[in-house]
Amino acid sequence: MSTRRLHGAAAHPDEGPAEPIVEFAEATPYEQYVGVRQLQALVRTVTDHPAEPSFLVVTQVMELWFILLRREWELAQRRLRVDDLDGAIAAIQRSVHHLRSLNASWGSLLWLTPSEFNGFRDQLGEASGFQSYEYRHVEFLLGLKAESVVRPHKGLPAVHADLERALAAPSLEDDVLAYLARRGLAVPDDVLTRDRTETHDAHPAVTELWAEIYRDPRPGDELFVLGEALTDVAEEFTTWRQRHVTAVRRSMGAKPGTGGSAGLAWLERSAARVVFPDLWAARTVI
């Protein structure tokens, strides 16, 4: 084998395909980019129960999906604020695929029975998915706001400040409506100036605005495409929450949650909150 081929240099036409690089002075570029050793070090179980590694890794993978969703929706907000609708729609549509992958993560826990979960559950102490601050960012960006879910993070000042900022900041829906108002659509002033820290129900005028867009879904209608992308987000996120409820019901029934919540009952109430309510209400009035 020639030195040129060993080190990945372009092969001479007569030499055939180049071989992959197999010698590195330090860690491979793949390791440096992906950080596999750091990922391995994060799989720190607290018991030797064989079911726990799956539970931990799936939870960690979901956190990574939350981070990616947050980035996509914050990018969509920035694009909307400079009236780049194409860029915003692209980010929102990508996030739908991320949500589908997030939903698929539950498949790795479908086998978890109550006995298996009980094998390590007590050792989790007060740790609970309720305490995920990246998930709170996801909820806040979707307009599901509540000051109470910020409080658990006071012990991490930077995280707490970031969540307080997100609580008061516009949601993705707020930025969509501000964009539509700049396009000349009749978004009421009281909607544009409403309290950002609260979850909002459907507003009759906004419902009618979306209904009008949906009454004429012409090919190439970018506002219709926007509405459908947002509806896909709402549907996939709702599916994730419903699968969460089912996973909890299957693995622990109606026991109290590890973090002190009512467990299943609390999740069911949370899952009942509607994302982008005007888009759903519009389907009733068309």
Q: How far apart (Å, rounded) are the C-alpha atoms in residues 233 and 276?
A: 9
Q: Which residues contact 75 (CB under 8 A, 6 or more apart)?
A: 87, 91
Handedness of CA 96, 98, 99, 104 (dihedral sign): positive
Q: Which residues are annotated as a binding site for heme?
A: 244
Q: Which residues are annotated as a binding site?
A: 121, 244, 258
Q: How far apart (Å, rounded) are the C-alpha atoms in residues 248 and 264?
A: 7
Torsion angle (degrees, nearest 10) of CA 22, 27, 33, 35: 130
Q: Is the Cβ–Cβ distance between 180 and 203 less than 8 Å? A: no
Q: Which of 73, 74, 75 is nearest to 98 (CA)?
A: 73
Q: Which residues contact 167 (CB under 8 A, 6 or more apart)?
A: 140, 145, 147, 150, 196, 197
Q: How far apart (Å, rounded) are the C-alpha atoms in residues 237 and 100?
A: 9
Domains of the chain with bracketed CATH: 62-285 (1.20.58.480)
Q: How far apart (Å, rounded) are the C-alpha atoms in residues 266 and 247?
A: 14
Q: What is the mean pLDDT of each run of 10 residues along the chain (286 residues)?
A: 45 72 92 96 96 95 97 98 98 98 94 92 84 95 95 94 97 98 97 97 97 88 96 96 88 68 73 93 96
Q: Which residues are annotated as a binding site for substrate?
A: 121, 258
0.85 exceeded by the pTM?
yes
